Amino acid sequence: MSPRVGRRGSRAGVGLAERIEALDRAAAVIAPVAPESEGKAVAAVLERIDRRRALSAEHTIIGVFGATGSGKSSLVNAVVGREVTRAAVRRPTTGHPVAAVVGETGADPLLDWLGVEDRHLLDGTGAALEQAALAVPSSRRARREDPGAPGIVLLDLPDMDSVEAANRAIVEHMTGMVDVLVWVTDPQKYADAVLHQEFVRPLAGHDAVTVLVLNQIDRIREDERRPVLASLEGIARADGLTSAPVLATSATTGDGVEELRERLVQVARSRGAIAERQRADVTAAATRLRTAADPAGMAAQSSARERAALTADLAVAARVEPVATAVGASYRHRAAGKVGWPPLRWMRRFRPDPLRRLGIGQERDANRLERTSLPEPDAATRARASGGVRRFADSASAGGSDPWRSAVRRAARSREEELPDALDQAVAEADLRARSGSWWWPVLDVLQWLAVLTWVVGLGWLAVNAGLAFLGMPPLPVPMLEDLPVPVPLPTALIVLGVAVGVLLAVLGTAIAAAVGAWHRRRARRILTDRVEDVGSGLVVAEVDAELERARAADADLALAAGTAR
Ligand SMILES: Nc1nc2c(ncn2[C@@H]2O[C@H](COP(=O)(O)OP(=O)(O)OP(=O)(O)O)[C@@H](O)[C@H]2O)c(=O)[nH]1
Ligand SMILES: [Mg+2]
């Protein structure tokens, strides 16, 4: 077992420290997205790894787990070579963890952390386990590479399927704390569902630091041992333990005990189990996070099409279309004041400027903020905005897992309250040229007044003649325009011409104003839409894209932590 432990450590492409850091980062990002219990469980794993790394790396903690009566305590005594823990017929016997310790230095803080009170230091006792740990490797090469006598904490634990809840709690806690897991079973109970379903299978990822022991082998006939061992091995493989060794022992006769002891000492000597266990923990935690809230599957950022759809929805909420229409109408309104037929211009006073009516293009308020007095958005308009935000979040997170899709939706709505004001200000502060005129207004204006002058002269002429006639005085000469089909007096012609040209100019001006007004409307719509897009970018898109980026980073970190990153 130990050579495998050592080799695997060096073969893994990404260093353990790097994988732990990646898990730490991924956990920080995923915890708020995943169910609380999952985040807590992974935080606990990281905390444990952290604490373990601060404690003695010289000691390997080996936990002996199994059902009551399988012979855990007897086996620990046999491996140690003296009685450190009580074995008995009474069930259950062991109620608290008992530690046999080789290597005093650094052991106490480790045992304090484990919460083990009952400690038996083997240093200087000459116990078989101490001797095995101190033994110098026989081959010269092994001696050269030997890092020296290892420290060992061998833990006898209460039964895992105990009727005592406290015992079960201790065992569950310890499965997470030890560096090496030794599962002890016996010929009667080796196929027991509880052992496999509740304990071995969930820890199958810890294959590399697991040993399976079939104890009480003396209780079965010699010719039955091989098939029973093969059967246990088959179950172990089905549990997912693809390479954990399966040993046969008898604590009573001592069969297989030395082999078990040697394997455990070898593991401790390689000093690879701590890292191997942590590697398995990190992989399991990464898998757990992925199961709880898989950050994979979503796009790296929202698409241009999705952003355009959001802008369209927000534009409805910001009332871009009515404001743009008012901009066009306002232009026509103001143009009418300059190019309309002068005798009728006064009538437009009764119709206020449509833009003014919306409060656009006015003074700033006390906070130096321009505000529109657009009517409060109705329910349908508000629904369009929040529906747009939701649709945007949903399509941007398509393909993601449910927890992440909810997280993206939360991110999209995180600044929803700021939206109405921001949209209103975007409209209020847009440069819509609400007061500007056009160069052709004065041109038509002058022409209009010339036309007015023309008919006023004609009218005046006729009026003077009428006055003179009334007074019995000779009238002014009235030239006749003889070239026309019907001869017309010049003043009359001036009146007809002046009125006709005036009306024609008014019609022409209205037509030009309509065309230019339409251009202003389109321009206003474009400007307002751009501003609405900016608001959407800042308050919605940025939040969603940041969440998508977090998911992408977490996905990469999980792959790194699980050792599956390319
Ligand atoms: N025949 C036989 N009996 C054994 C063997 N190992 C243990 N026993 C006996 O089985 C009984 C239970 O042994 P323990 O070592 O106390 O078992 P345990 O797993 O520690 O039990 P708990 O502490 O209750 O969980 C004792 O009477 C032992 O003598 C073995 O290999 N062969
Ligand atoms: Mg016991």
Instruction: List, as one string, the DSSP characters of 416-470.
Output: GGGHHHHHHHHHHTS---SS---THHHHHHHHHHHHHHHHHHHHHHHHHHHHHHH
The DSSP H or E segment spanning 24 is: helix 16-30
Q: Mean pLDDT over residues 459-464, rounded? A: 95
The ligand that comes nearest to the alpha carbon of residue 89 is 1
Q: Is 15 exposed, middle or buried (0-12, 13-18, 19+ CB in 10 A)?
A: exposed
Least confident of 77-81, 339-343, 467-471, 516-520: 339-343
Q: What percent of the chain has pLDDT over 70?
A: 94
Least confident of 161-175, 237-251, 295-309, 545-559: 161-175
More confident residue, 349 or 285: 285
| pLDDT for 385 | 86
| pLDDT for 212 | 95
Say which DSSP state 349 is in: G
The pLDDT-based confidence of 414 (bands split at 50, 70, 90) is very high
Identify the sign of the CA torsion 156, 161, 164, 168: positive
What does the mean pLDDT of the chain come to?
90
Q: Which long-range contacts (CB under 8 A, 24 or more apart) does 138-147 make?
A: 146/269, 147/269, 147/271
Residue carrying structure tokens 């001036």: 494
Residues 303 and 412: their CA atoms lie apart, in Å, by 15
Residue carrying structure tokens 């909420």: 317
Does the C-beta of 85 come closer than 6 Å to ligand 1? no
Q: Is 6 exposed, middle or buried (0-12, 13-18, 19+ CB in 10 A)?
A: buried
Atom of ligand 1 nearest to the CA of 68: 25
Q: Which residue type is seen at 43?
A: A
Residue 515 has pLDDT above 80, yes or no: yes
Instruction: List, as one string, the DSSP characters of 43-102.
Output: HHHHHHHHHHHHS-SSEEEEEEEE-TTSSHHHHHHHHHTS--S---SSSS---S-EEEEE
Does the C-beta of 73 come closer than 6 Å to ligand 1? yes
Q: What distance lies between CA 309 and its chain's CA centroid?
A: 22
The protein residue whose alpha carbon is closest to atom 29 in ligand 1 is 88
Say which DSSP state 197 is in: I
Residue carrying structure tokens 């200000």: 425
Residue carrying structure tokens 């006709």: 500
Residue 289 has pLDDT above 50, yes or no: yes
Does the C-beta of 251 come closer than 6 Å to ligand 1? yes
Q: What angle do CA 27, 281, 299 make, to 5 degrees?
A: 40
The pLDDT-based confidence of 371 (bands split at 50, 70, 90) is low
| pLDDT for 305 | 97
Does the C-beta of 167 come closer than 6 Å to ligand 1? no
Q: Mean pLDDT over residues 487-505, rounded? A: 93
In this structure, are residues 432 and 360 in contact, taking their beta carbons and an 8 Å threshold? yes
The protein residue whose alpha carbon is closest to atom 12 in ligand 1 is 69
Say which DSSP state 155 is in: E
| pLDDT for 7 | 35
Say which DSSP state 299 is in: -
| pLDDT for 358 | 76
Say which DSSP state 249 is in: -
Residues bordering ligand 2, an ion, CB closer than 5 Å = 72-73, 93-94
Residue 1 has pLDDT above 60, yes or no: no
* Nearest residue to 443 via CA among 290, 339, 561, 318: 339
User: Rounded to the nearest whole angstrom, what is the distance from the C-alpha of residue 7 to the centroid of ligand 1?
Assistant: 35
User: Domain 58-269 belongs to what topology?
Assistant: Rossmann fold (3.40.50)
Tens digits of residue pLDDT in 375-390: 666 777 778 888 999 9
In this structure, are residues 191 and 235 in contact, taking their beta carbons and an 8 Å threshold? yes
Q: What distance lies between CA 336 and its chain's CA centroid?
A: 56
The ligand that comes nearest to the alpha carbon of residue 218 is 1
Q: Is 119 exposed, middle or buried (0-12, 13-18, 19+ CB in 10 A)?
A: middle
Q: Which long-range contacts (CB under 8 A, 24 or more apart) does 225-229 make?
A: 228/187, 228/190
Residues 474 and 472: their CA atoms lie apart, in Å, by 7
Q: Mean pLDDT over residues 110-117, rounded? A: 96
The three-class DSSP label of residue 542 is: helix
The protein residue whose alpha carbon is closest to atom 27 in ligand 1 is 89
User: Rounded to the nearest whole angstrom, what is the distance from the C-alpha of residue 231 to the centroid of ligand 2?
Assistant: 25
Phi, psi angle pair for 182, to nearest 5°: -110, 115
Q: Taking phi first (over 0 means left), then psi (-120 to 50 degrees means alpha), and beta for anything else, what does residue 106 get?
A: left
Q: Mean pLDDT over residues 549-566, rounded? A: 91
Q: Mean pLDDT over residues 402-424, rounded? A: 93
User: Rounded to the nearest whole angstrom, what is the distance from the C-alpha of residue 62 to the centroid of ligand 1?
Assistant: 19
How many C-beta neighbours within 10 Å does residue 225 have? Answer: 16
Phi, psi angle pair for 313, to nearest 5°: -70, -40
Does the C-beta of 162 come closer than 6 Å to ligand 1? no
Helix axes 379-396, 542-562, angle to 10 degrees: 30
| pLDDT for 3 | 36
Tens digits of residue pLDDT in 8-22: 344 446 799 999 999
| pLDDT for 4 | 40
Does the C-beta of 91 come closer than 6 Å to ligand 1? yes
Residues 139 and 77: their CA atoms lie apart, in Å, by 29
* Nearest residue to 134 via CA among 148, 114, 155: 148
Residues 544 and 137: their CA atoms lie apart, in Å, by 60
User: Rounded to the nearest whole angstrom, what is the distance from the C-alpha of residue 204 to the centroid of ligand 1?
Assistant: 26
Cα-Cα-Cα-Cα torsion 540, 542, 548, 552, nearest 10 degrees, comes to 180
In this structure, are residues 211 and 180 in contact, taking their beta carbons and an 8 Å threshold? yes
